[in-house]
Amino acid sequence: MTGTEYRELALTECDRIREIDPDQYIKNAFRLVGGRRVLVEIDYYQRGWPEGYEKSRKGLERVLQKGGVAFGAFDSGGRLLAYASLSREVFGAQKKYVLLDALFVSKEVRGRGIGGRLFHQCVHRARDWRVDCLYICAGSAEDTIGFYHGLGCKDTPEINEALFQEDPRDIQLAYSL
């Protein structure tokens, strides 16, 4: 997107995620039916942050306080349009994973490549950290899963049980570095 500035977010900027409009219309989502993942129509409009603004802000603060990183996309007026955060904690028995903790793009600028660019900034940082994969707990909306699949993410062969239990409806994905 022309005129968009990308840079790391500082711990002091966590409140700026308030500038993002995270609303999302979800026509279809993946659900487990009879032990199989199937696409079902849910026709739902998610207003605001999925688990509330405060939880999202505190989550970003926690990631940054523990050595992680966040990248932001800003419009020409300085408004935060999107952000992605990457946890520094390495986990996994078979591979070294780090968690793509969050990726939100304001609804009015979705589909313009901003999310993909932020994702790839996280990929580059994870490579610097010498890990094997990004781990993503993706919301089950068809559009969300399509976004990650379009970037090359696949179902993870190694499930982090603690992350899975936080929201069993999330789709556990990995991006191999």
pLDDT at res. 112: 96
Where residue 2 falls among pLDDT bands split at 50, 70, 90? low
pLDDT greater than 70 at residue 122: yes
CA distances 136 to 19, 79, 148, 168, Å, are 24, 26, 9, 13
- Residue 126, number of CB atoms within 10 A of its CB: 26
pLDDT mean over 123-131: 97
SS3 for the chain is CCCCEEEECCHHHHHHHHHCCCCEEEEEEEEEECCEEEEEEEEEEECCCCCCHHHHHHHHHHHHHCCCEEEEEECCCCCEEEEEEECCCCECCCCCEEEEEEEEECHHHCCCCHHHHHHHHHHHHHHHCCCCEEEEEECCEHHHHHHHHHHCCEECCCCCHHHHHHCCCCEEEEEEC
Return the axis-axis angle of helices 142-151 and 114-128, rounded to nearest 10°: 50
The domain at 5-19+52-176 falls in which architecture? Answer: 3-Layer(aba) Sandwich (3.40)
pLDDT at res. 104: 98
pLDDT greater than 60 at residue 1: no
Taking the whole predicted model, whether its pTM rises above 0.85 is answered as yes
- CB-based burial of residue 127 (10 Å sphere; 0-12 exposed, 13-18 middle, 19+ buried)? exposed
- Token pair listed for 4: 């968009």
Where residue 94 falls among pLDDT bands split at 50, 70, 90? confident
Instruction: Look over the chain and give the mean of its residue pLDDT values, rounded to a whole number.
Output: 96
pLDDT at res. 162: 96
pLDDT greater than 90 at residue 177: yes
Domain ranges of the chain: 5-19+52-176
pLDDT, tens digit (0-9, with 9 covering 90-100), for 32-89: 899 999 999 999 999 999 999 999 999 999 999 999 999 999 999 999 999 999 999 9
Asked if 77 and 89 count as a contact pair (C-beta separation under 8 A), the reply is no
Asked if 159 and 171 count as a contact pair (C-beta separation under 8 A), the reply is no
